[in-house]
Amino acid sequence: MPTTSPSSERLTTAFWLALLLLGFAIYLQGLGGQYVPTNGDEMVYLHIARETAETGQWLPLASELENMRNTKPPLLIWQAMVAGGWGQGWHMAALRAPSLLYLLLICAGIVFSLRAITQRWREGLIAVCVFLAFLSTFRYGRPYLTSAPETFWFSLPLFALIWQRARLPAAGPGWLAHVVFGIALGLGLAYKSFALVAPAAAAWWLALVASESHPSWPALLRHTLRVAFSAVLALGVFGLWFVLDPDPQSVWREFIVGENAAKFADPRGYWRAALAFDGSGVWSQLLAYAINAGLLFFVLPGLAWVGLKALPQLRRRWPLPAPQAILLAWAAVWLLVFLFPSQRSARYVIPAMPAVAMLIALHWRDIPRGWYLPTLLLAAPVLLVLTRLAWVGHEIGLASPAEIGLTLGIVAAAVVCIGLGLWRSAWSRAAAVLCTLLVYAAFNAMVAPLDGPAGRYDERAIAAAPVGRIAVPTGFNGQFERFQFLLPGAHDFVPYDSRAQARARRGPDAEGQAQAAEELRQLLSTHAAVVWTASHGEQVTPPCLPDCRVLGERWLLTSRHAPGEIRKDNLWYPQQWLYRREWLLVRS
């Protein structure tokens, strides 16, 4: 790995460009896969999009799920409808492609913003690589249920302001720019929620004020009025939903009251929940940026340490350089605003992660090497787990020699990267980012075999699947929708919550197995076909034989494990708790 000394400037830039291309390739890998890290509600909104597309109308939104129709603004739903050709090209890769496009636009904004600040490409490339290495980007940057669209639209005014302040420090956006940016904010709200106008507009207002070259009361008033105008315009764009939807009362009841107002209510009481030392407390939310960074968790305290050390000199250096003031305002506002709702989550501050990545890049060498080393040390056990999972998948016949070889090759490259980063201090920072991206690549390679023949029903099973009601297992909201991709055709998928099946997974006792078998028999008697998952890894045939017929079989990775299913004595044997067979069954 190249160092960043002046004599190797060109080589350093080439390294980061190559790392960026590697990152893009990793994000493209398995885009349409079943096991792309995502939000658990992704299938809910794919269901809403498909049901709405089948009506042939943009509005009202349609859904078979009770009280799950107007829980997201329509722009997210319309995006899927268009990307999926109104149901004619309903493929997961196509539905997720717009999210990846938005992610590329965010990356372009980061690069060109830092190019305007530093007059070099290197810092921009570093920032984008860091941004792609964030766990929040990997998890929420490419699925259909994504944070990429609103992140782009909320970031657009701030990217433009950074560029303008770097080129023309005394200039500022006029009324026309505020009209454009108000529409941009409105599009972001139409993807997520009207409530986000608070952090989005506040961050832009504070960035304008903090980066003002000649602070004055008239300038403060001017910025306040213009940003208020943009915020009202943004709310107007969002409010078109109520105008265009033929059932605005349902929108108010399900979205405004049910989805948003509920975030300020907690049965424990507001202050008790806010001060609790759990995942919903203020203390956890203060670590939101570090949590979103994933393996780069400790780099964020390192960045904060750099800022704390600079505080004694702040009076001499005041005012801060305009770009730095904008980035700090951007990050600070989003963090502070989301300390107040009763429901707190690190993912709520994802729209500010581009600012965090840019701050890290601008202080790349200022952050001590020791803050990057935990990334290398934490990556090692993660790679060990991925290697074990991939090897077991190969042993049970899921991965071909080429597929297991690819996974092991990526892991070996990551191990070399860890060793080099620990050995040479000049390489530790770059090694931390490269190693994180290689962990993502290893994960993609580990799950890839399950997106091939081993993890899907073959053509014969799809053709033989009867038209009519097919009972399918579901353990979370809308998970039955995944069978639209696994068993395409004119089927009516009826979800069932297999509580007896979950009980059987907790232990091989006769009572649990008998209850699971009885539930399967009942489902077969009332449905044209049943999709049934094995109760444990060693189960090779469904419990209904010989009274049923197997049309198809596939392997899957289970999630939401029952208590006691993963134990110390079987942790090293994922074939007992992770890998399962699934069958498509009909009555004999």
Give the tens place of pLDDT for each residue, 486-528.
Answer: 999 888 999 988 665 665 655 556 676 788 888 899 999 999 9
- Mean pLDDT value of segment 378-397: 95
Choose among 147, 59, 50: nearest CA to 95: 50
Whole-number Å distance between alpha carbons of 144 and 165: 34
pLDDT at 135: 95
Choose among 139, 105, 109: nearest CA to 124: 109
| Tokens 């739903």 -> residue | 77
Residue 96: both structure tokens together: 């997720």
339 Cβ contact partners less than 8 Å away, ≥ 6 residues apart: 274, 282, 285, 286
- Three-state DSSP at 177 gives helix
Sort 131 into a burial class: Cβ within 10 Å, 0-12 / 13-18 / 19+. Answer: buried
The answer to whether the CB of 158 falls within 8 A of the CB of 207 is yes
Q: Report the Cα 217 to chain-centroid distance in Å.
A: 41
Whole-number Å distance between alpha carbons of 175 and 230: 9
Looking at the predicted structure, is the pLDDT value of residue 269 above 70?
Answer: no
Whole-number Å distance between alpha carbons of 366 and 373: 15
The answer to whether the CB of 478 falls within 8 A of the CB of 504 is no
Residue 431: both structure tokens together: 């090694």
Which residues sit opposite 495 in a β-bridge?
Answer: 472
- Mean pLDDT value of segment 550-571: 83
Whole-number Å distance between alpha carbons of 495 and 480: 6
575 Cβ contact partners less than 8 Å away, ≥ 6 residues apart: 392, 395, 396, 537
Which strands make up the sheet holding 529-533, listed edge to edge?
491-496, 468-473, 529-533, 579-587, 548-557
pLDDT at 270: 52
Q: Band of the pLDDT at 148, cuts 50, 70, 90?
A: very high
Q: Band of the pLDDT at 2, cuts 50, 70, 90?
A: very low
Residue 365: both structure tokens together: 């060498």
pLDDT at 265: 57
The domain ranges of the chain are 15-367, 370-451, 456-587
pLDDT at 298: 96
pLDDT digits (tens, 9 = 90+) for 108-138: 999 999 999 999 999 999 999 999 999 999 9
Higher pLDDT, 386 or 320: 386
pLDDT at 1: 46
Share of the chain above pLDDT 90, in %: 65
Q: How many other CB atoms are there within 10 angstroms of residue 525's CB atom?
A: 9
Maximal C-alpha separation, the chain: 84
Looking at the predicted structure, is the pLDDT value of residue 368 above 70?
Answer: yes
- Mean pLDDT value of segment 543-568: 85
- Mean pLDDT value of segment 253-272: 66
Which residues sit opposite 162 in a β-bridge?
Answer: none
Q: Report the Cα 83 to chain-centroid distance in Å.
A: 19
Looking at the predicted structure, is the pLDDT value of residue 180 above 90?
Answer: yes
On average, the pLDDT of the chain sits at 89
Q: What is the DSSP secondary structure assignment for residue 169, as one 8-state letter?
A: T
Whole-number Å distance between alpha carbons of 428 and 302: 14
Q: Band of the pLDDT at 60, cuts 50, 70, 90?
A: very high
pLDDT digits (tens, 9 = 90+) for 68-80: 888 899 999 999 9
Residue type for position 481: E
Q: Band of the pLDDT at 162, cuts 50, 70, 90?
A: very high
pLDDT at 6: 59
